[in-house]
Amino acid sequence: MEASTVAKIAGPGLDKKTLLNFLHQMLLIRKFEDKSGELYARGKIAGFLHLYNGQEASAVGAISTLAEHDLLITHYRDHGYAIARGLDLNRCMAELLGKATGIVKGHGGSMHFFDVSLGMLGGWAIVAGHLPLAVGLGLASNYLGKQQVVLCVFGDGATNNGYFHEALNMAKLWKVPVVFLCENNLYGMGTAVHRASATLEMSRKAAPHGIPAQRVDGMDVLAVREATTKAVEHARRGDGPFFLEVLTYRFRGHSMADPILYRDKAEVEEWKQRDPIVIFRQRLEKEGLLSPQEMEQIERETDELVVEAVRFAEESPDPPLTDLYKDIYADP
């Protein structure tokens, strides 16, 4: 291993406990997603279910750079970000099952995880629709002098939508503290990125708006963390928005309803060789930072958390019918 990587692993702020926690979080997300997929197949989850398998390094690396009072807003592939941000796992699973104990009382489902107390402002289903909201949050942060950085996550597909350019334009104009994080997983539903986007480098799309940008390996949790740290510092200093393109890959279909007929199995297998969890685990082992016993413990703990989340969700009541029209409009 290169000396710089060793230094990075052992560097300040990245002690062994933090590194093992990254592995723990990525594995927890993976297991939560696998279990959700299984429950969906058994008819326990209704509506759409977009899984995050393969992209775990992005959520864990990026979220690890946020301060407690910072804000997070994402698109519909939101479970990984919610878990990394610390949303209650039991209530997330209950939300998927549409239960009253769910993170939004069973009214939102998979695409609409939300927890104001942790600065997680959704889970939004309309492609690129939340980018202007992120700009508004950043504007409010500046206006109220709150110094909140807003991490706004979306896919490569969103960069082809008009909202994207409107949001980036206003973000630069108003110098808002928004980190735009584009997860380029090479597909938007069944469409390969080269069929939908005139440029294959999403980071270049920030240039016309004068926003600094960086492309980063999304299969490497520490690389994502390093790049996001700089982006967040830039925004926190008052230098305005930053754009990160995280190159990643989703191992499963767009949603559970996707028969995945549009991509080569060999391509999927090739990317699976770069599984962010396996790679990070091997790296820690090689550095002598992860013993077989510690790995066993992480496996056991993450298994138990998911089992408990399913038990909690299954034993929870359905929302009462009288709640049907509640929470459609917020009380001002």
Ligand X SMILES: Cc1ncc(C[n+]2csc(CCOP(=O)(O)OP(=O)(O)O)c2C)c(N)n1
Q: 108, 177, 188, 240: which one contacts ligand X (CB under 6 A)?
A: 188
CB of 202 vs ligand X, minimal distance in Å: 9
Between CA 110 and CA 159 the distance in angstroms is 23
CB of 220 vs ligand X, minimal distance in Å: 19
Q: Which of 108, 223, 237 is nearest to 179 (CA)?
A: 237
Q: 106, 109, 157, 240: which one contacts ligand X (CB under 6 A)?
A: 157
Decide whether 12 or 162 has the Cβ nearer to ligand X: 162
The region of 124-132, 239-247, 306-314, 321-329 touching ligand X under the rule CB under 6 A is 124-132
Q: Does 156 bind ligand X (CB under 6 A)?
A: yes
Vertex 92, ends 329 and 128: CA angle to 5°? 60
CB of 300 vs ligand X, minimal distance in Å: 31
Q: Which of 254, 57, 71, 76 is nearest to 152 (CA)?
A: 71
The region of 30-38, 149-157, 210-218, 226-234 touching ligand X under the rule CB under 6 A is 149-157
Q: Does 60 bind ligand X (CB under 6 A)?
A: no
Q: 90, 101, 185, 302: which one contacts ligand X (CB under 6 A)?
A: 185
Site string for ligand X, 72-111 (x = CB under 6 A): -----x----------------------------------
Decide whether 86 or 129 has the Cβ nearer to ligand X: 129
Q: Which of 232, 184, 185, 188 is nearest to 204 (CA)?
A: 184
Between CA 56 and CA 47 the distance in angstroms is 23
Strands 187-188 and 120-124: unpaired
Helix (H, G, I), strand (E, B) or coil at 159: helix
Between CA 313 and CA 94 the distance in angstroms is 4
Q: 125, 256, 279, 289: which one contacts ligand X (CB under 6 A)?
A: 125
Q: Which of 207, 187, 189 is nearest to 197 (CA)?
A: 187
Residue 91 contacts residue 309 (beta carbons within 8 Å): no
Q: 20, 118, 140, 189: which one contacts ligand X (CB under 6 A)?
A: 189
Q: Any bridge partners for residue 150, and if so which?
A: 71, 178
Binding site for ligand X (CB under 6 A): 77, 125-127, 154-158, 183, 185, 187-189, 254
